[in-house]
Structure 1
Amino acid sequence: MTHPFLQALKERPLLVDGATGTLLYSRGASTEASFEHLNLTRQDLVQQAHIDYINAGADVIETNSFSGNRLRLANFGLEEQVWKLNVWSAKVARNAREVAGQPVFVAGSVGPTGKLLSPLGDTSEEEIANAYQEQMEALLAGGVDLFMIETMSSLEETAIAVRMARKVSQLPVVAQLSFSVEGHTFLGVTPEDAVRLLLELGDDLPDVLGINCGAGPGPVFDSLIRLSAAVRAKGYGEDKVSFSCLPNAGQPSLSGGRYTFMSRPSYCASYVEPMVRSGARLVGGCCGTTPEHIKAMRETLDRYIESSKQARSSTLTDLPAVEVPPAVSIIAKSNKKDSSKSSAGKDGKEERSRGNLPDLASRLKEAKDTNNGDFYISVELDPPKGAVSKKLLQAAQLIYEAGADAINVGDSPMARVRMSSMATCQLIGSKVGIDTIIHFTTRDRNLMGIQADLLGCQALGIKNVIALTGDPPALGNYVHATAVYDVDSVGLIKIISQLNQGQDIAGNSIGSPTTLSIACALNPTHENRQQELERLKKKIDAGAHFIMTQPIYQVTDLTDFLDQYGPLPIPILVGIMPLHSFKHAEYLHNEVPGISIPQEVRDAMEKAGEEGSQVGLELAEELLEEVKSMCQGTYLVPSFGRYEEMATLVRRLKAKSKFKSAAPA
């Protein structure tokens, strides 16, 4: 499966952000301290820099980790914080992406070590390799989408960095050298010499080879021409390696004790089209470029892309014109499902009920009672951190087209502020046309607010609710926020049950009863099994229609609990969170409450190495095969926003007859 970044690169040129360091410097960061340390001490400052570049139109943002290797951090006494600084550089960039709500790629920035290899220096290849591996593993754990090795002067050091990137993961790799105005690196490497790098790497080629920093647009463009000609002359076609070009905003000058760069945004933008026409698939800026530069480059690139489309379409003048429905201006709709069945109730009719149960509750009960083979699949999406929903809707569309039955939406998970789950569900239902399951907590609502929002869910067509108490604010980013907790999840289930009978909790009539399917949560690996058993019984007695478990990683997680509880009177959806790597497994097991991963699974992930993501999907699929006879469905939980992998798993499951969904009666 082609990585989304590489697929996007095939489809169109991508715009990389500008100089994060320049922006931080202009906003008060000291050059006497480590910029990477700001990932811990001034996350707001770093995040805003990323957001500004996203809003300017960047397709790719780079983490604030350029000097994040052990050898450079030692200059500031931070060499023992490599892991933390790099993980947080990725997290801050990903948080910025969520807040901005745009589907940008997060590139892990990896700069030179600042050390010279023998015979010019006394640093060994092993030391440099270890430094890069350590940094890249941390960036990978933080959730980057690709590695961007940049501002390199040594072919040997670049080769080491590329090999380490290939060793730690299968993510795309961009490798960039830095040529001066004179057309060579400070170690004398020329664009023509870069061919030696490709020959040296053999099968470990970077996906993109290019130029950044060193000089302004003019000299860097000249170096691009030379690099492209030399590489293509050696037989490396576009299918082997693409090019990038990220110049500085001219040369810096010192004025008033601060460095400034002279090239105007319009000047830098004027080189975008020549760069792309000369083979660059990644363009952007380096030192001195600001959001204003990137905005100007975005406008120029968009004009070029549009003119290219028009030029191609002009050759098809004998084809009839096709009128595109207005709906595709947000997200193209798939015709494989009837969108009138969506949770938003777009046809204005009440959702069907079987007997006295709401639709989903009835469907799952029928699957449990008759063993009809109906297997329900939901995928969990977190709401955006800002008000822009484009990335969310793209993910929802992907999941919908893969064949999932529903999307379940978190309610400010981990007590971190996000768009309301109700608004998110309504957007997904109305724009994409797939059912939703809303996570509904009692943390932020009093008794009046709970009932008001539940009535709102009914009115908006959000008919499936998982009743949760919710993580306390102390766990999140508003530690002093007031938690309400007028009732817990058991009390919430009772409230929903009463609304389904046409009354509020005071016994007042609400007119037509609500038709909400009620899910409750279960942690089968809870350290206090007896307490969890008692809580589940209370939830079922209160009126829960079905169960959704915490993610499990072995069949005995479920069977041991069921052996002690006895036959379940209601259906169950098993939670599955595929693993990506050994470090991911270790983190979830040791640091995330409610998740326990057996040693044999962690051993398997350690053995998987760079095949971790694939092995994680295979383990998830195998586990679902084992628990299929004990449950009526699953909900899949992605990590690091990797919805493509969830779509892949959904498609795999749907391809097997035992996991197909039965059409609702």
Structure 2
Amino acid sequence: MGLLEKLQTNVLTADGAMGTLLYSYGIDYCNEELNIQKPEIIEKIHQDYIVAGADIIQTNTYGANAIKLARYGLENQMKEINEAAIQIAKRVAAPAGQFVLGTIGGIRGIRKSDATIDEIIATVNQQATQLLSGNPDGLLLETYYDFEELSATITHLRKLTDTPIIAQVSMHDPGILQNGISLNDALHHLEALGANIVGVNCRLGPHHTIQAFEGVTLPEKAFLSAYPNASLLDVEDGRIVYESEADYFGKAALYLREAGVRLIGGCCGTTPKHIEAVKKRIGTLPPITDKIVTPRKPIIIQEAEPTINQPLHEKAKTERTIIVELDTPRHLDTTTFMEGAEQLNAAGIDAVTMADNSLASPRISNMAMGSMLKLQNNIRPLAHITCRDRNLIGLQSHLMGLDALGIHDILAVTGDPTKIGDFPGATSVYDVSSLELLQLIKQLNEGISFSGKSLRKKANFSVAAAFNPNVRVLDRAVKRLEKKIECGADYFITQPVYSKEKIEEIYEATKHLSTPIFLGIMPLTNSRNSEFLHNEVPGIKLSDEVLERMRACGEDKERSTAEGIQIAKELIDTAAELFNGIYIITPFFRVDMSLELIRHIKEIDAKKARENSYVKASN
């Protein structure tokens, strides 16, 4: 009798965690390598679960794909590791006839940049081919946070084999996936794609897993599965521990059965004792065939409050828009910063943009300074957000704070590495890339948390992305812009450009895009400043002509300032003809230089307006 036939009339007990037991043995490297290095350990764990009462065991292959094995330099042993795993499991299961599942683990978490779908499918195909060669009773897809990845994997595998597929998602919060889709909708979608058993595993303990299944209706053809963690995890003396008692886990299995689950196993923190408790409680109880699900009241997500000002990206599509960067102070005296921002605002700019600890050096929080600008001076702030300094918890908290303060203009950037800053030993977080941060911010605009649960209200962010055109192959940089647009970028802000030819090249390379671009202009203050920017600051390159013109000024400060402003004006003359958005970067708090450039832009626009009026009058 096959697995699916058995589930028609039985609730089956699966095994529990593999990694938890290996961890308890003091093994903290690649678990899958043990299939070939110490197979007797893996064999014993399988045997212990069978003795505990498991009807089903899974191969030790959760991370045995080329992408994950590459972390240990073992990608070339993928075939050998998977073949050994299926052989060990089949050998142990043979005497009593337990079912064996070939396990394939999810690759992506929140970071989609970890691997493309094409890369994932390629490595899944390799691993599945090896597992299927051992004739397993099913393929177990487990710990999938990324629903796109799981959907694509099932679609591919269903074309590859008729072997039963068990597809299990993982949730951050009960009843909802990280993309905001309900567990019920997700499981029914997986069934439609061809999965024979659909369910959940990992992250949540028994209580929240049961809670999640309360809202799940029984599939038409597929069966439900659940592999909860033993409990919520804790850390003691640097080691991960789970507090759940085995009997509690066994009692929870009864509730899962009542929720319609027919395949019950365990994930992180579970041991043979937990599985023994499940088997003892479930016994020969028949599966539930009818289930009434009380519809939950839908959570109403309020619309975002309308912003007072027109979004910058909308304005820049039709008219001149000027933003000016002014670094927040490295000290606690904010007088000069506030005075400079007031002067810039009086000159008629659209927003003051503030970096997020630029060059990895600490400054006063741009959230704090932005709030002061907005509330005290009615100045529009544009806050940069880096992926470097905050984990996902901090990023969402920070963004929610910005929304609460009414700061809706933001620039999502990766952030300079900590090694170049004041604290080179500091940790760079980079939980996500700038591309993923864009997507997550747009998710907040839908009223959905990074974890997928409702925020009860939509955020209202207008999101810029960075564009570095100072590269050898501009086409590649433009391709990245297109990816950022797909991820939700509303407009782009460039690194400073120091060549009229480069500005024209940027225009030609991006004119097919409808997404506005703010062309970066930063006046040079002296020759040493220009040499430093050209040779040491990532993403900035000066033309030979500009470098020579600044060198010619020598140590003459006034002449250097005048020449720096003149170069910037010449660049603005070209940029203003091709781009509505101008991004002025204030150097070293030299607000006077930025003010001179703003006046120049205003003069250009006034002259153009007069010429247009004359033409209209003449017609």
Q: TM-score range by the shorter chain?
A: 0.3 to 0.5
Q: TM-score, normalised by structure 1?
A: 0.43
